[in-house]
């Protein structure tokens, strides 16, 4: 059994940035479960399935194979043998992942992959239901959050840096909408596990968040 750190929280809380740094410092593998939902979302988009078409999504799960490999410590995601890692982080794919991840068959499809990675490796795994559902016996559970305004500003700065045109108000609206969807769904909604440690990063620097989380880990 690996040593398992679960890190859940809303979109834009900085989970992946922080988890990658903690993984490096502690020698864990970083498992980004959102990337798995995004890979399935690419599969549905490629097939032209609408997010409302639950039967179509369930059917399409049957011919999707998502797998993970690590290259120089970086997670690479494969969809039916194709490396789709560079296609995962668009708004279109993120929204499709958010709209299709409530479907129980979608979650079921990825559950075993996530649990196997945690069984076989020391991991820090980020997502929405890791501490509550995937790894209920994780050694450490963190719920990482930040205010909507902070998360919107971070996303805005990130996009501006990439030279993309964006609107802060629109980003904040999208974040609220995504939170609402992730937290109110029936299957495995985003919520803090009772035994998770709450870390609100609104007024913390990245090194402060990393060292806080590292202080709880072996």
Tokens of residue 91, six digits: 């708004």
Q: Does 131 bind ligand DC (CB under 6 A)?
A: no
Q: Does 38 bind ligand DC (CB under 6 A)?
A: yes
In angstroms, rounded to a whole number, what is the distance separating the alpha carbons of residues 205 and 208?
5
In the complex, the smallest distance separating the C-beta of residue 129 from ligand DC, rounded to whole angstroms, is 5
**Could you tell me the sign of the dihedral formed by the alpha carbons of 33, 98, 12, 161, in that order?**
positive
Among 7, 11, 19, 152, binds ligand DC (CB under 6 A): 11
Beta bridge partners of 198: 143
Q: Binding string to ligand DC for residues 150 to 189, with x set by CB under 6 A, is what? A: ----------------------------x---x-------
For residue 20, which of 62, 63, 75 has the smallest C-alpha distance?
Answer: 75
Contact 92, 157 (CB under 8 A): no
In angstroms, rounded to a whole number, what is the distance separating the alpha carbons of residues 34 and 182?
12
Among 75, 98, 145, 150, binds ligand DC (CB under 6 A): 98
Q: Which stretch binds ligand DC (CB under 6 A): 33-41, 51-59, 66-74, 158-166?
A: 33-41
Q: Does 9 bind ligand DC (CB under 6 A)?
A: no
Q: Contact positions toward ligand DC, by CB under 6 A?
A: 11, 33-34, 37-38, 94, 97-98, 101, 127-129, 178, 182
């Amino acid at each position: 059994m690996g040593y398992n750190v679960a890190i859940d929280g809303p979109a834009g809380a900085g989970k992946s940035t922080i988890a990658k740094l903690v993984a490096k410092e502690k020698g864990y593998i970083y498992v980004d479960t959102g990337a798995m939902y995004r890979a399935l979302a690419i599969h549905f988009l490629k097939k032209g399935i609408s997010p409302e078409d639950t039967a179509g999504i369930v059917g399409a799960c049957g011919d999707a194979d998502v797998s993970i490999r690590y290259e120089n410590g970086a997670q690479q995601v494969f969809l039916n043998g194709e490396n789709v890692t560079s296609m995962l982080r668009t708004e279109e794919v993120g929204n499709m992942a958010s709209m299709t991840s409530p479907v129980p068959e979608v979650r079921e499809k990825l559950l075993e992959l996530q649990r196997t990675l945690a069984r076989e490796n020391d991991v820090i795994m980020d997502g929405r239901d890791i501490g509550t559902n995937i790894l209920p016996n994780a050694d450490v559970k963190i719920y990482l959050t930040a205010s909507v305004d902070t998360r919107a500003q971070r996303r805005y700065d990130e996009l501006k840096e990439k030279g993309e045109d964006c609107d802060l108000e629109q980003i904040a609206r999208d974040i609220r909408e995504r939170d609402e969807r992730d937290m109110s769904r029936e299957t495995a909604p985003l919520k803090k596990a009772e035994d998770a440690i709450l870390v609100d990063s609104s007024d913390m620097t990245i090194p402060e968040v990393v060292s806080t989380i590292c202080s709880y880990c072996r």
